[in-house]
Structure 1
C-alpha cells in the first residue's frame, strides 16, 4: 500500500533544502518546516466525547496578540531565534486551531495577511515558503466568509474536515452540546471540498466506545474516494483486552476488503495507517527520537499570548488540577524567565529512551507504537514518563498486519513474509490458539 500521492510541504522543502532536512535539534525548529499553532479561540460548536480539550471556555485571541507572536517569529527577537532557526527551518506552517477555528475566520484572515505582508517587507525566506493548516468540524464550512478565505488561500492551504468514517462511528462521539449528531454536516463539507477537486485529508479517531465500527467506517472512507486513511486509537486510558479482540477482528475485515476482487479498491492505491507494513517490529537501540512533537517541536500561542511547547499543554487540555506548561509569553519572550527556560531544557532531554521502561524500549513490536508527551505530563506530572494505555491495541494491530501482509504477498505472488514479532503470550489473550496457529503458518508459508 502506497503512502499518498500528494507531495507534502515538508517533502517539497526537503527537495529544495536537503541540507536542512538532516539538521535540527528537537524543540529548536530543525527539519525543513516548523509548525507553529495559533489557538484563535477556545470556543467550539461541538462537544465531542473523546476530545482532549475538556476544559474549553469562550476566550478569543486578539489581533494584537497574534501580531506580537508573528513579530517574534519573523524577527527572532525575545529569544525566538534560539528556539526556531530560520536557517535550519526554511519553511513554516501556520496552524490555526480552537476550539473550532472557523468560528474566528475573519481573525485568521487578518493574521495570514499580516504574516504575508511582514515577511515580504523583510525579505524573509518564509514569505515564499509558508503553508496554512486548518482542521475543522465543518459546521461553519458554508459560511460566506469561510468560503472567501478558502478560495483566497487555496494555493497555500492544507484544509480538512474531521469525518470519523461512517455515520455510526462519527455520531457516536462527534455531537453538538445538546447531543444531536453532526455527521451529515461534516459529510456535506467534505464532499463539497473534494467535488471541487481539492485534496481532503482524513482522520478516523478510535476510542473504546466506537471501535466496533472500525471496518464500516474505513470502508465508507474508501468508498468516498479517500486514499489516505489516517486512523488511530486515542492515547487516553480506557482500553482493555476486549477492545483489542474487537479491533483485531475489525482490522481483519478491512484486510479482507482490501484484498477482495469484488470491489474497485486497489490496495496499492490506499494508505491505511493501522495496516502499515513498516511498523510492528523491534526498533534499533539508537533510534531514540520522541514519537510526537510534544517535546517542544510544535510551538503554540494561546488566546492570552502565553506560549506552550504544544497546544495540549494548555489549560483547556490539562484542566484545573494540573499546571499548564508555559515556556514564554508574546510580551516577555520565550525561554527568558528562569522557570520557562527550565521547562524548555526539560523537554529537550525527553526522548524514547528516557521516558520508556525497559519493557517498552526493547519491545519486539515497538515500531509504530505512539504516545502523547503532553498527556504523559497531564497524567504523571512529567513529560518524561511514557503512558501505555494503548499497548493492547498496538498488539492487536500488529497481529492484523501479519494477516494482511502475508495474504497480500500471497496474492501478489511475492516471495516475501511479514514476520510475527508479537510474542505468543501477548497474542493468545487477543486471538486464541487457533487464530495464532493460522497467523504463524501464514508468516512461515
Structure 2
C-alpha cells in the first residue's frame, strides 16, 4: 500500500485535524449519541498511539499543512488521561527533535462531558499544556434539558437493559459544578448544545441559562439523523423566534453569540463560486484503538448503524489513496439532490458525511441525507426575523455602525 504523494488543492488547508479515538467507554449514555457502540470498553494502547504519531510526523510531504490540531475523543477521552498525557508529551518531544514545522503551530483539543474535569490528574495536565490547549465541556442548557438526554450509564444499560425514565439519573449537577473552574481557565470557551426532537421546547430557556452561567458562545447542533417528527419545524421556528426576542430585548447580542443566528445563510446554492464540501471528512484523519485510519470518526464501525466501516489505512501500511480519493472529489453540488440545488434558501444547510453514508440506500458518500430539510428552512425564517428586528432596533438607536464594528463572532452554523 503506497503512501499518498499527490494531493489535490482541495485537500490542502491551513491546519490538519488528527483525531485519536482513545476509548469507546463513557460514564454517560446520552440518548442522542451517534456512537452505536458507545458501551464498549475498548481503549487505545500506547503502541498504537506511538505508531500513529511516528507515521504522521515522519510523512511531512503528505501531512504538509501549516498547523495541526491533535484531537482526543471517546467515549469520554479523559477516562484515559494517563495515556493522553503520555501521547501529548511524546508529540511535543518528537516535534522538537525533528525540528518539525508544527512545533510552534499545534493545539491539543478535547470535547468532554466535564464530569472528571476537576480531578487532580486532569488539572495537572491542563496546567502543563495550557498554552496549547482547547477544552469544550458539553452542557445542554437547563437542568431539565440537560438531564433529558445526558444520563448516567448503569450496569443494566451495559447489559442492554433499557431503564424506565423514572430510573434515569441525569448528569447536570455533576457537570455544572465544574463550569466556573473551566471558564476561569478558558475564559473564551464556548459550549456545544445538541438538539433532537424532544429538546425543541427547551431551546430558548437553555441558551439563556448557558449565558447566565457565563458562557458567551453557544454552538447549537441539530442531529443529522432522521429523528424529526411532523410539526417539529413549526415548534423549532417558534422557539428560535422567542429566543431572538429575548436576545435582542435583553441586549445579549452585544456580548454573546448563538450559532443559530448568522447573517450569511439562507441564500440559493452557488455551484460555481461556493461549491466546497460542507463537511471536512477526508481532510481530517482519525485513528481507533486497533490502529485503523478513517476519513472522520463518523466512519468508524462504532459510529455506524447500517454500513460497514470506511477504513482508509492503518498504522502499519499507511493511507490507501484509492480509499481516500472519493473524499477529495466531494463538493456541495455533486452530492446534493436537485431539490437541494434548486432550493432558494440552501446556503447554511449542513450535513454530516458519515450520516450521508450511513443513511444512503447504497454504500456511497455521494448521496446527501435531507433529514434536516424542514428544520433548516424553519431556522432560515427565524434567522431572518432575528436580523430584521435587530437592525431595525440598531438603526432606530443609531448604533448599527458600532455594532458592525464590534459584533461577536460565532462558529459556522450546524443546522
Q: TM-score, normalised by structure 1?
A: 0.81
Residue correspondence of structure 1 range 98-113 to structure 2 within 5 A = 98-113=74-89
Partner of 1:307: 293
Residue 201 of structure 2 is matched in structure 1 by 212
User: Does structure 2 retain, via aligned residues, the 8 Å contact 1:204–1:229?
Assistant: yes
Task: Report the Cα offset of residue 126 of structure 1.
Answer: 0.7
Relative to structure 1, is the Cα distance of residues 94 and 24 closer, same or farther in structure 2, using a 3 angstrom cutoff? farther
Matched residue SS, 1:131: strand
Give the C-alpha shift of residue 213 in structure 1.
Answer: 0.3
Alignment of 1:172-191 (within 5 A): 172-178=148-154, 179-191=168-180
Correspondent of 1:293 among 270, 280, 290: 280
SS in 2 for 1:299: strand
- 1:318-355 residue CA offsets vs partner (Å, 9 max, x unmatched): 14x421000000011111xxxxx332112222211111
- Segments of structure 1 that go 5 or more residues without pairing to the other structure are 1-22, 336-340, 417-445
Q: Which residue number corresponds to residue 309 of structure 2?
A: 324
Write out per-residue CA displacement over residues 369-399 of structure 1, whole angstroms, 9 at most, x where no aligned residue.
Answer: 0001111111212111000111111111111
Query: Offset at 1:50?
Result: 0.3
Alignment of 1:146-225 (within 5 A): 146-178=122-154, 179-196=168-185, 198-225=187-214
2:219 corresponds, among 230, 255, 261, to 230
2:229 to 240, 245, 253: 240
Q: How does 1:244-259 map to 2 (within 5 A)?
A: 244-259=233-248
Mapped partners of 2:148, 2:181: distance in 1: 23
Q: Which of 40, 49, 52 in structure 2 is aligned with 1:69?
A: 52
Deviation of the 1:98 alpha carbon: 0.5
Instruction: Describe the superposition over 1:28-69 as per-residue Cα deviations: whole angstroms up to 9, x where unpaired.
Output: 3x2211110001111111000000102131111111111111
- Of 44, 48, 59, which residue of structure 1 is paired with 2:30? 48
Distance in 1 (alpha carbons) for counterparts of 2:271 and 2:329? 17
Task: Give me the CA root mean square deviation.
Answer: 1.7
Q: Secondary structure at the match of 1:323?
A: coil
- State the partner residue of 2:111: 135
1:115 aligned residue: 91
Structure 2 residue 375 is the aligned partner of structure 1 residue 393: yes
SS of equivalent residue, structure 2 residue 34: coil
Q: Which residue of 1 aligns with 2:3?
A: none
1:145-175 deviation per Cα after TM superposition (whole angstroms, max 9, x unaligned): 1111111111110001101111111111011
Distance (whole Å) between structure 2 residues aligned to residue 92 and residue 153 of structure 1? 15
* Cα distance, 1:196 vs structure 2: 4.4
Distance in 1 separating the partners of 2:126 and 2:223: 30
CA distance in 1 between counterparts of 2:254 and 2:270 reads: 28
2:21 maps to which residue? 39
Tell me the residue number matched to 1:10: none
* Aligned match for 1:348, one of 328, 335, 351: 328
Q: Does the residue aligned with 1:210 lie in a helix, a strand or coil?
A: helix
Report the equivalent of 1:402.
384
Q: Is the 8 A contact 2:188 2:216 kept in 1?
A: no
1:373-432 Cα deviation digits (max 9, x unpaired): 11111121211100011111111111111211111111111799xxxxxxxxxxxxxxxx
Aligned residue for 2:52, secondary structure, equals helix
Q: Secondary structure at the match of 1:102?
A: helix
Structure 1 residues 265-317: Cα deviation after superposition (integer angstroms, max 9, x where no partner): 431322211111111112322121111112x0120011110000000101110
SS of equivalent residue, structure 2 residue 187:
coil
Runs of 4+ in 1 over 6 A off after TM superposition: none
Distance in 1 between the 2:192 and 2:73 partners?
Answer: 15
How far off is 1:187 after superposition?
A: 1.2
Distance 1:409 1:167 in 2: 33
C-alpha separation between the residues in 2 aligned to 1:171 and 1:373? Answer: 29
Please give the per-residue CA displacement for 1:158-197, whole angstroms capped at 9, x wherever unaligned.
Answer: 0011011111111110111242100111111222211346
Q: Is the 8 A contact 2:189 2:217 kept in 1?
A: no
Output the CA distance in 2 between the equivalents of 1:122 and 1:195: 35
SS of 2:308's equivalent in the other structure is coil
